[in-house]
Structure 1
């Protein structure tokens, strides 16, 4: 059954008890302005629904059986914001990071970075954007992209009118820390063209010999990893979180090359010359 409850998303104590089939967090407030004009109350107004609401929902769904999915409505502003949207970009960036952490724990949390819509928060902006050649999502476009995203593994997806037009959808993945090295090593050992944070190493075919090879590959990045770790943290995102927490060996400067051996001399001895009489 669908129940509609009017409440402050930051405080959901009066909400109906679960279990919940799925959860959508779509709250948001815009208070754009240059950094020098952003007073604490304006920043709080933007962060409250996004950040506070996310934690309130997390507490709500932590009781009992976890929903089949939790979808955080983030924004493309977290990836590429307009001038004056620093607070809004930060709020949505927090959603993306929080969802990534929950996915690393094995939970089905999506973060959808929406572009401009013709309805809702974007209704007043869409006509002006269209005059500058920036297309906006219609309701049908948005619902179609939402259905497509929910049919894919939980991840951070950026969705816009361009995405709807060319039917492409690519998960946003980490690009710092150990992520490049880990995905390169996993792809090489398991013969994969691409690796996502949601992939499971055992489902991809990891065996004990491959685990040893993977550990040896990561040793080049200063990580002394027991191959058993790959069987304890089988999801790539969870494995990344674990590896990032490990101490890394300090890089050592290569030892100077040994001096070349001296060539033996085979010259004939010089006989002393007697002084002239």
Structure 2
């Protein structure tokens, strides 16, 4: 790990340092272990926005189990998805947001059954998650990697929506393009806030519309898919409104700045 990532690595990496004493080369070896289980996260497989240190630490846990097995010692790392009622997402009330991204909840019983199965099958790394792969593919393009190819559904005509919008933007005047981008962002925010789009004031700050930092991360992902434009979270939180955000998106996409603000719909 690099210096910065190493310093910020969360406890799930540093908490396993003592476990390394059970590997050859350490003086205080614990040779009588029959079971060694570490808890990781499925986000290790496709990343997690603004949590590189968390992803790296979980990757370390998977490597640790593989290393232990290579030296003849027990080791299983379980990569968890969202678990209802008990995990971080449940405690912090973000399960609905994760579901919209494509990560639905496991029940605690399902999680325990999956762990028991992994131990019974004696696997080094296993995972238990309920994932809507079609949805998460559209929200998080990073999942489209060769190692996950067997899980990702094939392209469907419904996936052409963003391409159609980009074609309309390419053939629109600057003012028309601003209206199209604002319409798209309004729908993105309405879906996240679970509100009728017509109720959103396009000239009001987004944080005043009820958008918090977690929702902003979700909006970043949805806007990326809808407009093929990378808008940082702070852009959402600092924009003077949906119209202002749409103008920023068009500039990032290389379109000419509109001469006037489109009418609010």
TM-score range, shorter chain: 0.3 to 0.5
Could you tell me the TM-score, scaled by structure 1's length?
0.40
Q: Which has the higher helix share?
A: 2
TM-score (norm. length: structure 2): 0.41
| Higher radius of gyration, 1 or 2 | 1
